[in-house]
Structure 1
Amino acid sequence: MTLKILTVVGARPQFIKAAAVSRAIRETAGLEEVMVHTGQHFDADMSDVFFTELDIPAPAHRLDIHGGGHGEMTGRMLAAIEPILISEKPDWVVVYGDTNSTLAGALAAAKLHIPIAHVEAGLRSYNRRMPEEINRVLTDHLSVLHLCPTQAAVENLSKEGVRDGVHHIGDVMYDATLFAISRAEAESNIFSQLGLTPKSYSVATVHRAENTDDPGRLKAAISFLQKEAESHPVILPLHPRTRQNAERMGIALTGLKVVGPVGYLDMAKLLNGAVAVFTDSGGLQKEAYFHRVPCTTLRDETEWGETITHGWNRLWQGPDFTARKEINEYGDGRAAFLIADLLKKSL
């Protein structure tokens, strides 16, 4: 008997995680995968390039849904995913992380009584102003299989009464990083494109709605980066929404080396050669650690508390770094194969 796994993705971090799990599914007998791409990240530089670089099979269904408010986007996705689930009749629906695509996929599956596996379950920032926090909490409480990257995530779920189907499997982002490092060194020419040398620059990203939609916070984040750029170049691959909002709010990006969105291999090489990372991205906080580069998070809290306690991360307006030590929670680079095995055995 072959189990059908329907995977819902829509944004850059999900492509990266799904790449690792898709490879594991292809190598596990008795599993087949159908991928749905909602289109939440629709720009070729933030979508198609990841499928090419990371050997992800072309999605069977592309919905091209993006733009609009959170409710509108999630509702359109929900309406579009439901008939696909009815037609495909999957045994599992797998969702990743905390985007609108995640919640839409989980809601559609739950209403059709299809079991949901949530990769990166149990993360909490405890900031309900973040749409990502709402998405991840609701998805966790709809899911049957909770695939947690850390023991803290397991404990967060336990506090909310979620204890069945909970597994600490490590972090698939670590799997993806190990896959990307050697390829990035061989294939990426981002250093020559940007005129960089290793360990002479920092990398920054700003894309979370809590920063980009608030003029005061966006101005403060950009000012923080401009201050850092006085001592060394700060490379800022700019999210399209951030660029549009900065222009609309009259916030100048002078002093920063602004570039367009970069592919995963280019970003892996940039991270590996950086002296520091500044970001409001959850995933990039961990990727910085995987490359052993100190990170400053441009937020007031983080769902990756172990990066703070182990000295590799700090909040931009919080205490300085603590003493650094290794983080042992993220696994050995085989989290994706643990996921595939659990999908096969848990039905």
Structure 2
Amino acid sequence: MKVTLIAGARPNFMKIAPIIHAIKKAQDEGKSIHYRLVHTGQHYDEKMSETFFRQLNIPHPDVNLACGGGSQAEQTAAILLAFEKEVLAHPTDLVMVVGDVTSTMACSIVAKKLNIKVAHVEAGIRSWDRSMPEEINRMLTDSITDYFFTTSTLAGENLLKEGHKKEQIHFVGNVMIDTLRANESRFQQPEVWNELDLKPKHYLVMTMHRPANVDEEAKLKEFIESIDQNTNGMPVIFPIHPRTKGILEKAGIQMKNIYLVEPLGYLEFNYLVKHAKGVLTDSGGITEETTVMNVPCITLRDNTERPETIDIGTNELIGTNPKKIKPALEKLLSGNWKQGQIPEKWDGKAAERIVDVLLEL
């Protein structure tokens, strides 16, 4: 069996890596399964260096289609054209996509138009917010997918409601947690640890990147000021994107407890998260990692495609009203945060289950 694996952005490689390791394990056992790793080049990431691949034991892609830059429409068109040429030159039995980036959707469309089966890892998750580009990508991809690999039973229920057949849906767990578990013992203390004399459980970590939160200067200012004023003097470490940093500087926001640092590598960032008192974020993926590491998490969004992090895990969704930040921080800092549990099958073996299913097909 020949499988073409698609990655379009840095987080995709973290989801693909355990699948490749599971494929190699199956090969060592004499199983007939082969892969080709295609990087669409959708996101150029200067941190996607040799160090990134070496740190996380991630294989280099067989090809980079270099489809970065431009609007979403331009990127989609570029990926459609480039991936069609790629898959015609390198025939495959199955195209496997992960997550919800533009590459996920575009490569699925190319595969189906060439009568190639499509498998979607992280299928069926829904925020029900169609203003999010990721939600459109998820829905369109799942509408033409043949084999669904889900992170939760709820995701499977979503797919059934959309008319997909039970035998197409495989509840395997969360490949991002496979990567977390494989690297947890190797987390690295970042330089900021000693620079700020940080102590375990005596600081907070913050991430913010969604346009709805960072693009509007007045709203971002209100967010930052509310967080800065309600940490009881506890430092907040904020690895910040240069664009967001520019908006903050333009607004002239003064901060006494929030420390802006350069974006961190996977091992360094998760070291900070693991030892933090809590996390404030608008990311979906981080809520999964905080849940598994049992770290309190405040999510600054009105909806989430990962409700199990709230129902079972350590996450609380407080919305995008900055006035909700103070009571949430008071609850977190007082030690009265809920105790979370780890969702079913988030055990580091999701990729092995995926490959087992592929071998049965």
Asked if Structure 1 and Structure 2 have the same fold, meaning a TM-score greater than 0.5 normalized by the shorter chain, the answer is yes
Structure 2: distance between partners of 1:343 and 1:304: 25
Deviations 1:239-285 (CA, angstroms, capped at 9, x unpaired): 344335555x6364734211222111112211111111111111100
Aligned in 2, Cα 1:287/1:87: closer, same or farther, shift over 3 Å?
A: same
Instruction: Give the drift of 1:215.
Output: 4.0
Structure 2: distance between partners of 1:92 and 1:240: 38
Q: Higher mean Cα deviation, 159-168 or 141-150?
A: 159-168
TM-score by length of 2: 0.87
Corresponding residue to 2:16 among 15, 18, 23: 18
Corresponding residue to 1:124 among 93, 114, 126: 126
Structure 2: distance between partners of 1:170 and 1:342: 13
The within-5 A match list for 1:263-282 is 263-282=265-284
Aligned in 2, Cα 1:90/1:251: closer, same or farther, shift over 3 Å?
A: farther
8 A Cα contact 1:239 1:261, kept in partner: yes
Structure 1 gaps of 5+ residues are: none
Aligned in 2, Cα 1:215/1:343: closer, same or farther, shift over 3 Å?
A: farther
Instruction: Give the drift of 1:73.
Output: 1.6
8 A Cα contact 1:228 1:234, kept in partner: no
Q: Higher mean Cα deviation, 282-291 or 46-55?
A: 46-55
Aligned in 2, Cα 1:72/1:226: closer, same or farther, shift over 3 Å?
A: farther
Structure 2: distance between partners of 1:140 and 1:217: 34
Q: Which residue of structure 2 aligns with residue 250 of structure 1?
A: 251
Structure 1 residue identity aligned to 2:184: I
Q: Which residue of structure 2 aligns with residue 5 of structure 1?
A: 3
RMSD: 2.4
Q: Which residue of structure 2 aligns with residue 344 of structure 1?
A: 359
Structure 1: distance between partners of 2:281 and 2:115: 38
Structure 2: distance between partners of 1:24 and 1:264: 21
Number of residue equivalences: 342
Structure 2 residue identity aligned to 1:7: L
Q: Higher mean Cα deviation, 135-144 or 233-242?
A: 233-242
Structure 2 gaps of 5+ residues are: 332-336
8 A Cα contact 1:12 1:47, kept in partner: no
Secondary structure of the residue aligned to 2:100 is coil
Aligned in 2, Cα 1:181/1:270: closer, same or farther, shift over 3 Å?
A: same
Aligned in 2, Cα 1:244/1:102: closer, same or farther, shift over 3 Å?
A: farther
Q: Higher mean Cα deviation, 72-81 or 46-55?
A: 46-55
Say whether 1:181 aligns with 2:184.
yes
Q: Which residue of structure 2 aligns with residue 307 of structure 1?
A: 309
Secondary structure of the residue aligned to 1:302 is coil
8 A Cα contact 2:98 2:104, kept in partner: yes
Instruction: Give the drift of 1:68.
Output: 2.3
TM-score by length of 1: 0.90
Structure 2 residue identity aligned to 1:275: K
Instruction: Give the drift of 1:80.
Output: 1.5
Aligned in 2, Cα 1:57/1:46: closer, same or farther, shift over 3 Å?
A: closer
Instruction: Give the drift of 1:38.
Output: 2.0
Q: Higher mean Cα deviation, 152-161 or 199-208?
A: 199-208
Structure 1: distance between partners of 2:190 and 2:8: 24
Instruction: Give the drift of 1:218.
Output: 3.5
Structure 2: distance between partners of 1:253 and 1:301: 29
Secondary structure of the residue aligned to 1:44 is coil
Deviations 1:283-311 (CA, angstroms, capped at 9, x unpaired): 10010111110111111011111221235
Q: Which structure has the larger Rg over C-alpha atoms?
A: 2
Q: Higher mean Cα deviation, 4-13 or 296-305?
A: 4-13
Structure 2: distance between partners of 1:193 and 1:342: 48
The within-5 A match list for 1:95-174 is 95-163=97-165, 164-174=167-177
Aligned in 2, Cα 1:225/1:155: closer, same or farther, shift over 3 Å?
A: same
Secondary structure of the residue aligned to 1:28 is helix
Structure 2: distance between partners of 1:16 and 1:71: 25
8 A Cα contact 1:238 1:259, kept in partner: yes
